[in-house]
Structure 1
Amino acid sequence: MAKFILVTNCCPPAKRKCLHVALEQAALKGHMQIVRLLVRHGGDIDRSDEFLDPPIFAAIRGRCMPVIQYFVSFGANMEVRNKRGWTPLMLAARIGGEKMVDCLLNAGADVHATATGEKTAWSIAYERGHKAICKRISDAMGRNLDK
């Protein structure tokens, strides 16, 4: 599919949409080679639209640490929002991925960001019973009191 998208001669808006869908699916499934190929050929790691979340959310849902780390190293926006108004850190906190949370915190994710209903990554982790993640976020809050 990725090769087809890259060689197809279609209008730029349609090609961007196809790249976004393919990148989202590759990120979800952890297909690192395809993710790299699509990004190299114009796949936008921060793009979202009315139907799809930014690709980092797919990588988090798929618990694909190598893809998450790749997006982070490539400069993914840590404050990008999904359709629910959540940041990547909020989704990782909900899922309970300690390594994902650590990676996002180390990349500078805002621990004070709020979503609809004034939820933070900490409150989302607390609701789900993820005590270790609550601790990590609390520790990061202490380091980021200036925000």
Structure 2
Amino acid sequence: MGEGRLGGAPSLPSFVPPPTPLLPLPSPSSSTRPGRVCGGGSARRRGGRPSAEGGGRGREAGPCRRPGRKRAGPGWAAADMCKMSFKHGTTLLMVASYAGHIDCVKELVLQGADINLQRESGTTALFFAAQQGHNNVVRFLFEFGASTEFRTKDGGTALLAASQYGHMQVVETLLKHGANIHDQLYDGATALFLAAQGGYLDVIRLLLSSGAKVNQPRQDGTAPLWIASQMGHSEVVRVMLLRGAERDAARHDGTTALLKAANKGYNDVIKELLKFSPTLGILKNGTSALHAAVLSGNIKTVALLLEAGADPALRNKANELPAELTKNEHILRLLRSKEGHRKS
């Protein structure tokens, strides 16, 4: 038994690729040497060439150098450093933006670094700054022409990344600079969906007030309300219902927010959903929220649904009563008591 019996597998989360180290990174709080924009960086010199992985016996060459200072070797200057790329197309500007080194970012940009250059995965310096929540870096990049339109191979944008990780100030900055509120991953997940998945209430309120569609589903039919219910985010569920979320919106497999919350035993979510009178009967997938709660052994959930009017005499598509799905005596007593009241 389990979720397979309910005809509704758990929803796989939508995902902007997680933050992975671009290079071995120095700490943003590390002290810097006098006269340098930032201290020892992640590229090392070996035989006159930088190594993305570090190592070797050469002295460390910081990603930002004194303006105009020559590198060891003929023809090397700060501007050359700014234009170098490492493994997978990573640039020093991406590294500095990821780590939140605002002084490094400024120096690299002033030395001619390409702000909108994309890594092999499609990510840019703006994407990494947004993903990591470095709003000061994001604002600076916009001053020098950063674009919000670049996408990763998964369809990710700076706005989607910031929303997934709950960076409200970054989301606000991106929207002010023209980010598309309707951006979607290639699986259909929107910024609102990703924020709902993570339970970021302040980001959700901002997105909704900026025109996000509260009922926009992914390609598999999963709506933001559904994913918030599966994750147990009751406050998010409440806000979305108040903003017009469809309480009975079903995924392509027929499961609804209430059924998923009942299966998980998220009683605070169920209480919010019940305020909007969702369907308590048999759903398109042939089962009910009560069947799901009984099958999962959630005693308090069963009591909540029965009190709201769920019918213990309904049979699922396998012709089973809720009482036939459990041996829990407490649940059986609740079901029999309700059935007795219903008959009387």
Interval containing the TM-score (normalised by the shorter chain): 0.7 to 0.9
Gap runs ≥5 in structure 1:
143-147
Q: Does 1:33 align with 2:169?
A: yes
What is residue 128 of structure 1 aligned with on the other side? 264
Q: CA RMSD of the aligned region, Å?
A: 2.4
- Kept after mapping to 2: 8 A contact 1:112/1:141: no
CA 95–82 in structure 1, closer or farther in 2 if over 3 Å, else same:
same
Gap runs ≥5 in structure 2:
1-125, 127-137, 279-344
For residues 111 and 37 of structure 1, the distance between their equivalents in structure 2, rounded to whole angstroms, comes to 32
- Kept after mapping to 2: 8 A contact 1:89/1:101: yes
- SS in structure 1 opposite 2:203? helix
What is residue 88 of structure 2 aligned with on the other side? none
- Kept after mapping to 2: 8 A contact 1:20/1:44: no
Which of 199, 222, 235 pairs up with 1:86? 222
What is residue 118 of structure 1 aligned with on the other side? 254
Residue by residue over 1:42-96, the C-alpha shift from the partner in whole angstroms, topping out at 9 and shown as x without a partner, is: 2222222425620112212322111011112222111101243211100110000
TM-score by length of 1: 0.81
For residues 40 and 20 of structure 1, the distance between their equivalents in structure 2, rounded to whole angstroms, comes to 19
What is residue 96 of structure 1 aligned with on the other side? 232
What is residue 15 of structure 1 aligned with on the other side? 149
- SS in structure 2 opposite 1:119? coil
Structure with higher Rg: it is 2
CA 5–50 in structure 1, closer or farther in 2 if over 3 Å, else same:
farther
- SS in structure 2 opposite 1:15? coil
- Kept after mapping to 2: 8 A contact 1:24/1:55: yes
**Which letter does structure 2 place at the counterpart of 1:92?**
A
- Kept after mapping to 2: 8 A contact 1:5/1:15: no
Q: Which has the higher helix share?
A: 1
Residue by residue over 1:78-126, the C-alpha shift from the partner in whole angstroms, topping out at 9 and shown as x without a partner, is: 1101243211100110000111101101101000211111111111111
What is residue 182 of structure 2 aligned with on the other side? 46
User: How many residue pairs end up in the alignment?
Assistant: 138
- Kept after mapping to 1: 8 A contact 2:157/2:183: no
TM-score by length of 2: 0.37
Residue by residue over 1:16-66, the C-alpha shift from the partner in whole angstroms, topping out at 9 and shown as x without a partner, is: 537951111111222222101111222222222425620112212322111
- Kept after mapping to 2: 8 A contact 1:20/1:43: no
What is residue 145 of structure 1 aligned with on the other side? none
Higher relative contact order (CA 8 A, sep 6+): 1
